[in-house]
Amino acid sequence: MEVGAKPIKRRYLKRWHKISLILVAFIITSGIGVLIFVNDYINRSIPQTNGSIQITGLKAPVNVTRDQDGVPHIEASNSKDLFMVQGYIQAQERLFQMDMARRQASGTLSEVAGMKALDQDKYFRTLGLRRAAAKSYNEYSDEAKQVMEWYADGVNAYIKQAKKDQTLPIEFTLMGAAPEVWTSIDSLTIGKYMAFDLGGHWERQAFHYYLLQQYPKQKAYELFSSYPEEAPTIINEGEIDIESSFESAIIPHAFNGSNNWVVGGSKTKSGNPLLADDPHLGLATPSIWLQMKLDSPGYQVSGVIFAGIPGIILGHNKDIAWGVTNTGPDVQQLYLEKRNPDNKYEYLYEGSYEKARVFKETIKVKDEESVEYEVVETRHGPVLSEFAEDSGKGTVLSLRWTALDASTELEAILEINQATNWKEFEKGLEKFLVPAQNFVFASKDGTIAYKANGKIPIYENGADALLPLEGWEEDNEWRGFIPFEELPTVMNPEKGFIATANNKVVGEQYPYHISNNWAQPYRYMRIDEVLQTRSDFTKEDMKDLQMDQVNLQAREFVPVFLNYIGSEGLSQREREAVKLLKGWDYVDDVSAPQPLLFHTWMNTIMDRLYSDIPHSMDRLFKGKGQTTDELLRKAYAGKETVWVEEQGGIQRLIEETFTQTVTSLTKQYGEETKKWEWGDYHRVAFKHPLSSISFLDRFFNSEDPIPVGGSQVTVMAASYEEESGLVNHGASWRFVLDGTDFTTASHIVGPGQSGHFRSPWYHDQREDWVNGEYHKTILNKPEGETLTLIP
């Protein structure tokens, strides 16, 4: 037996070796097969850009030519086909983005994201953007409703086709979801969400209320957005726990804003106007904007639109061009409401209780039971403080906000798309109510103009907008709205240009209150500084100005700060840092160490000043930078500032934060200060919403973040997360038009046109965004692949 055992064992091992090889080969083959299947599945959803597609409902063939940058140029013989195909093409490129946008705004994310989205859904159900959209729909003309329906038909044609052919974007498969039928209300709800994203001022009112609860009045007033001459007083002190009331509220980005300017022919080389616009919004993949050209007998217009909405919201036609920035007026008012102790659905008003409206909301939650949720609206609006559970003492906070009223922005968009001069354009603006925007305008006849447009409440006293008001007193109601003909308007000014950058747009002589919350003035000051200098500007100069990285905040504060930094007692690296700052040209250059020093120093100062303000309230401290600048100005001018004095005075604050800054940067970037670079920290990634899931990051964000210059206070706006340095907010679209030829314009849509990560136009404009490389679009038919959609 033992003699024959070894051959038997060898045969046994050889047999298993063969079996193992077969298994390995099978696994490899299967793996390759799976990869091929997955690859094929992903590629099937890449938008078709040539050939033909049949769509039920079209009257005639429609050609869609994508130029070299992926911009679709839609040529239709009638308006129905134009807007139907616009809906189809938007869905081709951005269906997942569109679906997530309507879900977020409508409060239905939990259906696909589960319990982690429940609080967010509760907040948006409470706010009621979709209810406001439904109210708005009834105000639209039959013609505008028809456009929305045509657009929805196009979106739904794509959804139906993609479900049948199993070509839905891969994101739907990853989330185990599928898009539902698109409706006109979906488009209007996304429009309401943009009004939300551009915000108002209720957060600052809540923050002011908190300050008066927690600090002595003088200390509290120092952080008010506008120092009140007639100091308001707290109402019903202690009745509302303001900190917990808004702990889960969704707060728009603090730096939402924009730049725009228009230069008249007297200051240009060609003698024709120049217009530039770069709206500052979130920077992500895909872009918040989709660039398109629409061409039919009724429309010939080019520019950008939010995915999910028909028309062109910003851009130009062959006669006019326009751009916007956020005006930022006080259009949101918190009201204290007294609840009937015997009936939680009744609230006091002028001596008697009146019934509130109650909405029963069922929130579907993925893999969980549905959640029944109740929304209460007083005469002023939704009760927000109830969102974070019961405040418990019979007093709650409700929100009055112009965007929750019926409004007709899409009607305005369709009218201004067809306008040929300022009179027609301004007429269209009457229907653009929320959000309030600073429109700049140029036309073929040489006219340049500006209007701060929108539904802006009349406050008897601007101080009234600093704090929540007593909702039970009729005297605290808004006094109507600023008449359209009295909104701030400028036409062909003597200085030859008009510019806005979310700065204060009216002087003391203006009879109405606009806002207590203006952006830091540095971007506007720099634009004004440059446009004052010459009378021979070209479109290339406008591009350079959009990419300008001069930091006027640093120009103001660095010399002041260095006055407090003596030479004695400094470490070698601190002396090197002082030398660097003294030699700085105040440009936030990507490769320079000084921007890293300055911005870290400013952030350290703010962290030190406001260290005892909890995160939940710091989120509501909108305009913190502007307030901090004012505190520092007062302190170095010798005026008393409680927040600075509590840090040991301006001298100690500056010295200690400087040492802290240099020590921190040395640990992170090494001991050679000259080798520190702003771009080592300040980088842009354009993150996809699913890239936070680690194994998906390399699919949706395959490239590393790119170092970038600029900052939140430069004309080239690039605001960043303090913890990571990642730029997440800035010029979401750059647009420059030379009035010599209104059929041609220059654009950047970072990171690209397409939402499909295998598309050549997915991330092709990332580096263009960083470097200021513009692409040209034309109103005429471009060269490129053509897709024909046929009935």
The more confident residue out of 36 and 626 is 626
DSSP codes of every residue in 636-679: HTT---HHHHTTT-HHHHHHHHHHHHHHHHHHHH-S-GGG--HH
Residue type, 38: V
18: helix, strand or coil:
helix
Mean pLDDT of 219-231: 77
User: What is the dihedral angle through the alpha carbons of 104, 290, 786, 52, rounded to the nearest 10 degrees?
Assistant: 10
List, for residues 117-165, the tens digit of each pLDDT value: 999 999 999 999 999 999 999 999 999 999 999 999 999 999 999 999 9
Mean pLDDT of 413-437: 98
Place of tokens 């039971």: 369
Model confidence at 4: pLDDT above 70: no
Model confidence at 254: pLDDT above 80: no
**For 154-168, b where at least 16 C-beta lie within 10 A, e where not — what string?**
bbbbbbebbeeeebb
What per-residue confidence (pLDDT) applies to 653?
98
What per-residue confidence (pLDDT) applies to 34?
44
639 lies in some domain: yes
Model confidence at 8: pLDDT above 50: no
Q: How many domains does the chain have?
A: 2
Residue 716 structure tokens: 């080239």
CA distances from 572 to 82, 569, 675 (A): 67, 10, 15
118 lies in some domain: no
Last residue of a domain, one of 676, 703, 735: 676
Last residue of a domain, one of 648, 676, 704: 676
What per-residue confidence (pLDDT) applies to 251?
78
Model confidence at 693: pLDDT above 50: yes
Phi–psi pair at 324, nearest 5 degrees: -135, 160
Residue type, 74: I
Last residue of a domain, one of 631, 646, 676: 676
What per-residue confidence (pLDDT) applies to 464?
87
Q: How do strand 437-443 and strand 320-326 relate by DSSP bridges?
A: antiparallel
Q: Which residues contact 606 (CB under 8 A, 6 or more apart)?
A: 624, 625, 628
List, for residues 504-533, the tens digit of each pLDDT value: 999 989 999 999 999 999 999 999 999 999
What is the C-alpha separation between 595 and 563, in angstroms, rounded? 19
Q: Which residues contact 200 (CB under 8 A, 6 or more apart)?
A: 329, 330, 331, 332, 401
The model's confidence at residue 250, banded by pLDDT at 50, 70 and 90, is confident
What per-residue confidence (pLDDT) applies to 394?
84
274 beta partners: 263, 738
- Compute the residue count for the chain: 791
Place of tokens 């990571």: 724
Residue 687 structure tokens: 């993150």
What is the C-alpha separation between 608 and 643, in angstroms, rounded? 10
CB 292 within 8 A of CB 72: yes
Model confidence at 39: pLDDT above 80: no
User: Among residues of the chain, what percentage have pLDDT more than 70?
Assistant: 91
Q: Report the range of poorest mean pLDDT among 248-257, 333-342, 725-734.
A: 248-257
User: What is the dihedral angle through the alpha carbons of 773, 778, 782, 785, rounded to the nearest 10 degrees?
Assistant: 60
Nearest-Å Rg of the Cα atoms of the chain is 29
Mean pLDDT of 659-680: 97
User: Which residue range(s) make up the domain with 610?
Assistant: 552-586+593-676
List, for residues 429-460, the tens digit of each pLDDT value: 999 999 999 999 999 999 999 999 999 999 98
Model confidence at 11: pLDDT above 50: no
What per-residue confidence (pLDDT) applies to 697?
77
What per-residue confidence (pLDDT) applies to 558?
98
Contacts 24+ apart (CB under 8 A), 566-570: none
Residue type, 777: T
Model confidence at 22: pLDDT above 90: no
pLDDT, averaged across the chain: 92
415 lies in some domain: no
List, for residues 545-584, the tens digit of each pLDDT value: 999 999 999 999 999 999 999 878 899 999 999 999 999 9
711 lies in some domain: no
Residue type, 27: I
Residue type, 108: T
What per-residue confidence (pLDDT) applies to 246?
72
Query: By C-alpha distance, which of 535, 492, 322, 351 is closest to 418?
Result: 322
List, for residues 771-788, the tens digit of each pLDDT value: 999 999 999 989 999 999
630 lies in some domain: yes
What per-residue confidence (pLDDT) applies to 462?
84
Mean pLDDT of 19-26: 51
The model's confidence at residue 231, banded by pLDDT at 50, 70 and 90, is low
Q: HSE on the CB side for 88, CA within 13 Å?
A: 31
What per-residue confidence (pLDDT) applies to 605?
98
**pTM for this prediction:** 0.93
Q: Report the range of poorest mean pLDDT among 90-104, 213-227, 592-606.
A: 213-227
760 lies in some domain: no
683: enclosing H helix or E strand: strand 683-684
What per-residue confidence (pLDDT) applies to 685?
95
* Count of beta carbons in the 10 Å neighbourhood of residue 369: 7
452 beta partners: 438
List, for residues 694-739, the tens digit of each pLDDT value: 677 777 888 899 999 999 999 999 999 999 999 999 999 999 999 9
229 lies in some domain: no
Mean pLDDT of 662-672: 97
735 beta partners: 277, 747
Q: Which residues contact 495 (CB under 8 A, 6 or more apart)?
A: 532
What is the C-alpha separation between 647 and 628, in angstroms, rounded? 14
Model confidence at 37: pLDDT above 50: no
CB 200 within 8 A of CB 331: yes
382 beta partners: 377
Model confidence at 236: pLDDT above 70: no
Residue 655 structure tokens: 């010295």
The more confident residue out of 230 and 598 is 598
319 lies in some domain: no
Mean pLDDT of 322-326: 97
What per-residue confidence (pLDDT) applies to 59?
98
CA distances from 391 to 125, 339, 388 (A): 19, 11, 8
User: What is the dihedral angle through the alpha carbons of 17, 19, 20, 23, rounded to the nearest 10 degrees?
Assistant: 160
* Count of beta carbons in the 10 Å neighbourhood of residue 638: 7
Q: HSE on the CB side for 376, CA within 13 Å?
A: 21
DSSP H helical ranges for 383-436: 409-418, 422-429
- Quote the DSSP letter at residue 718: E
What is the C-alpha separation between 382 and 405, in angstroms, rounded? 12
User: Among residues of the chain, what percentage have pLDDT more than 90?
Assistant: 84
